[in-house]
Every structure is written in structure tokens, then in C-alpha cells.
């Protein structure tokens, strides 16, 4: 079992990741000139969409944001705060700064999603897919609601691939019978570092070419 102190640290990083995903959605909603209801809805989808889809696929109850309703209040409060104080001149520097906590949140979510699926005794590939779903589907839902093709599929930067790699690290640690919490931390670290290096080195995923 996860030691209480480490569990608190992981929950803290999870909160940072949720805040990062919510803020990315708030910025997009502001650019689309959505009203207050739209901003809160898009922020909630981005923050909780991936974990909710994972819980539904695993038939897990209660949903994680129902179990921790304080996270829902946090996202709604962040949306209200941003609407009151965030202006257009803040968008670009805020987006750049949020890349890093977003990378940490992605790493943690892919690890926790994979680990949760492993607890259900599912095959390794299915567990990794659950981790990727947890990490990336919130952003995809944000873009769909804002009438865009999800960026995770179109910006050609490795994101889902980083989550995929981190998930396999968690599966490998489980296969080696390592304690759960070191395996989760190792998987989250690998996914986060891959994302960070990809940002710094501007890695690109090859895109589909149709010309002869």
C-alpha cells in the first residue's frame, strides 16, 4: 500500500495536474468567447474527462470526482477566478508556464490509470490504454466541445506516446512484483521526462503524407 506521506504528495501533484488541464480549457473557452456556464463546463471536462471515462470503462464507482468533490469545487473556483482576473495579455505566458505542470499531471494520470486497471487484473495492453485514456481524453473532450480536432492528434508533438511509454513502465514494474507505489512513481517520472524533453527539443511525430 502507498505510505500516507507519499499518498499526500501524489494527491498534491494530481491537484496541480487537474488545475493545469482546467486552466488550459479556460484559456481556450475565453478565446471562443464562451459565457460563464460554457467556461465552467469546458474546464470541468478537461480536468475530469479522462478519469471519468476510465472509471466508466472499468465500471468503477463512485467516480473519482464524486468521491473527492473538493476537486470539483477547486475547478469551478479556478474558472470563476480566471473570468474575473485573466485578460488576453495573460494568455500566451500562462500557456507557456502551464506546459510543465501539465506534463507532470499527464505523467501521474497515465501511471494512476494504468495502476488502477492492473488492480482489476486486466491484460497489460488494456491497462496501458486505460492510462493513456486517463491522461489525454480530458484535453480531447475540451477541444471537441470547442469545435476543434483534438490537439493531441494534430499538433505532432509526442503526448499520448509519452503516456503510453509511462504506462508500460508501470506494467513492467508490476510484472517484476515491485511494490505498487515505486512502480507508479517510476512510470509517472518516465512519462513526464519524455514530455519535458520533447518540449525542450521540439520533437515531432511524423504526420500522414498524401502527396506522391
Q: How far is CA 76 from CA 7, 91, 137, 147, in A?
A: 24, 19, 19, 22
| Interacting residues of 147 by C-beta distance below 8 A, sequence separation 6+ | 32
- Which residues have a Cβ under 8 Å from the Cβ of 106 and sit 6 or more positions away? 17, 135, 136, 159, 162, 163, 191, 192, 195
pTM above the 0.85 mark? no
Banded model confidence at residue 1, pLDDT cuts 50, 70, 90:
very low
Evaluate whether residue 170 is within a structural domain. Answer: yes
In which domain, by residue range, is 19 found? 4-201
Cis peptide before 152 (omega within 30 of 0): no
Chain segment 163-210, per-residue pLDDT in tens: 999 999 999 999 998 887 888 889 989 999 999 898 888 888 777 666
Under the banding of pLDDT at 50, 70 and 90, the label for residue 89 is low
Residue 206 is predicted with a pLDDT of 74
The pLDDT value recorded for residue 13 is 58
Asked if residue 207 is part of any domain, the answer here is no
Supply the pLDDT for residue 92.
62
199, with CB counted inside 10 A (0-12, 13-18, 19+), is: middle
Which parts of the chain fold into alpha helices (H)? 4-31, 36-57, 64-67, 69-85, 88-119, 124-145, 151-154, 160-175, 180-201
Whether 209 maps to a domain, the answer reads: no
| Residues 172, 125, 164, 139, CA torsion sign | negative
Asked if residue 206 belongs to a domain, the reply is: no
In this predicted model, what pLDDT tens digit does every residue of 112-138 receive, in sequence order? Answer: 889 888 988 899 999 999 999 999 998
Q: How many domains does the chain have?
A: 1
pLDDT at 182: 86
Q: Is residue 211 part of a domain?
A: no
* 208 inside domain: no
Is position 51 within any domain?
yes
What would the grid cell of residue 199 be? Answer: 518540449
Amino acid at each position: 500500500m502507498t505510505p500516507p506521506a507519499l499518498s499526500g504528495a501524489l494527491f498534491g501533484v494530481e491537484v496541480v495536474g487537474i488545475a493545469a488541464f482546467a486552466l488550459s480549457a479556460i484559456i481556450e473557452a475565453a478565446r471562443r468567447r464562451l459565457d460563464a456556464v460554457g467556461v465552467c463546463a469546458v474546464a470541468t471536462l478537461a480536468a475530469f474527462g479522462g478519469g471519468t471515462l476510465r472509471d466508466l470503462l472499468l465500471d468503477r464507482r463512485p467516480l473519482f470526482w464524486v468521491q473527492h468533490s473538493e476537486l470539483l469545487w477547486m475547478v469551478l473556483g479556478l474558472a470563476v477566478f480566471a473570468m474575473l482576473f485573466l485578460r488576453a495579455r495573460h494568455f500566451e505566458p500562462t500557456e507557456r508556464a502551464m506546459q510543465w505542470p501539465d506534463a507532470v499531471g499527464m505523467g501521474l494520470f497515465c501511471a494512476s490509470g494504468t495502476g488502477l486497471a492492473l488492480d482489476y487484473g486486466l491484460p497489460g495492453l488494456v491497462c496501458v490504454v486505460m492510462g493513456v485514456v486517463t491522461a489525454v481524453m480530458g484535453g480531447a473532450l475540451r477541444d471537441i466541445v470547442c469545435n476543434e480536432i483534438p490537439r493531441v492528434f494534430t499538433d505532432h508533438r509526442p503526448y499520448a506516446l509519452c503516456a503510453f511509454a509511462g504506462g508500460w513502465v508501470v506494467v513492467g514494474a508490476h510484472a517484476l512484483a515491485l511494490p505498487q507505489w515505486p512502480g507508479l512513481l517510476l512510470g509517472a517520472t518516465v512519462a513526464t521526462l519524455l514530455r519535458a524533453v520533447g518540449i525542450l527539443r521540439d520533437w515531432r511525430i511524423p504526420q500522414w503524407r498524401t502527396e506522391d
